[in-house]
């Protein structure tokens, strides 16, 4: 197998392992902070309804995340699970970025291990959904 072929196979393996590691977190959240999580969920809903960040409602972070999560609300329905799936998609993409970054300097197998270590030891901040981005 060529070097590029090996890298593609390892990238696919990395995505599969990441999806398997993150799948349990799509329907479970151990802490639901009523202040920050509630505000986030409400703002995502308002964005889905067509309102604009900063103009129509108060938001303290960057403007991208309400739009990002409102897409998941629109596709999967208004629920915490929709937001958790969106968060897991971000984490999966971050792991792929770790794989691609580490693959510049190490073998594809080591890059895969780096991404898996990232997913296992990712420091979760359960009080708001925007820190993942």
| pLDDT tens digits, 3-18 | 888 899 999 999 999 9
pLDDT band for position 23 (50/70/90)?
very high
| pLDDT tens digits, 31-88 | 666 668 888 899 999 999 999 999 999 898 889 999 999 999 999 999 989 999 999 9
Burial letters 116-128, b for 16+ CB under 10 A, else e: bebbeeeeeeeeb
| 1 pLDDT above the threshold of 90 | no
pTM higher than 0.85 for the full model?
Answer: yes
| pLDDT of the residue at 33 | 66
């Amino acid at each position: 197998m060529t070097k590029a072929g090996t890298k593609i196979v390892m990238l696919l393996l990395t995505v599969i392992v990441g999806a398997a590691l993150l799948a349990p977190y799509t329907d479970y959240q151990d802490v639901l902070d009523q202040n920050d999580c509630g505000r986030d969920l409400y703002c995502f809903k308002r964005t889905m309804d067509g309102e604009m960040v900063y103009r129509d409602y108060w938001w303290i972070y960057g403007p991208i995340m309400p739009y990002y999560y409102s897409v998941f609300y629109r596709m999967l329905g208004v629920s915490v699970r929709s937001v958790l799936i969106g968060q897991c998609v971000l984490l999966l993409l971050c792991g792929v970025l770790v794989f691609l970054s580490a693959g510049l300097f190490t073998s594809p197998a080591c890059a895969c291990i780096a991404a898996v270590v990232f997913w296992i030891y990712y420091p979760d901040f359960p009080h708001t959904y925007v820190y993942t981005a």
